[in-house]
Amino acid sequence: MRAMPTVSKWRSTDFGTLILRLGLAAILLFHCIYQIFHGVAWIKPLLAQLGLPTVLAYGPYIAEVVAPILLIVGFQVRLAALAVVVDMCAAIGLVLRHQIFALKQEPGGGWAIELQAMLLLSALALVFLDAGSYGLTRKPKQITQI
């Protein structure tokens, strides 16, 4: 009889990476829907106030439309995650900078930018993790001899 594989042989790290990729992509897809239906005109005045070129307003299309799709299929995950990191840093810097050291006012408290920070840190983790075994750019499995 053949023994059942242990959890480590099931590549639990790769499965965890897949969950992280899909979770981040799912949240970003809601932002994607907003960008598609409402555009990015609202961000241009914020960029202009800081003296930044308004062409940067189109960055969210990359990070919130293209990147989630790449994360889901597991293609160019590091690049997609890096786009999300840059997008979240820009979002925090442009829109939420006054809340960086603030607490939520609603019951239960918490950090005012905890969602954005979690998205930023999840994307940063994927920059280092890459796609794992479940994706289009999966790494070949290494066979270990005992």
Give me the helices (H) in the chain, please.
Answer: 12-38, 44-49, 59-61, 67-73, 77-94, 114-129
Q: What is the pTM of this model?
A: 0.83
Residue that has been written with the tokens 């994360």 in this structure: 71
Q: What contacts 114, CB < 8 A, 6 or more positions away?
A: 104
Q: What contacts 99, CB < 8 A, 6 or more positions away?
A: 112, 113
- The CA–CA distances, whole Å, from 145 to 72, 139, 142 equal 33, 18, 10
Q: Are 73 and 137 in contact (CB under 8 A)?
A: no
CA distance 14 to 103: 35
Show pLDDT as tens, one digit a residue, over the chain (146 residues).
566 555 555 568 889 999 999 999 999 999 889 888 988 898 899 899 989 999 999 998 999 999 999 999 999 999 999 999 999 999 999 999 999 999 988 878 899 999 999 999 999 999 999 998 888 875 655 555 55
Q: Are 67 and 81 in contact (CB under 8 A)?
A: yes
**The predicted structure's pLDDT at residue 55:** 92
Q: How many CB atoms lie within 10 A of CB 45?
A: 11
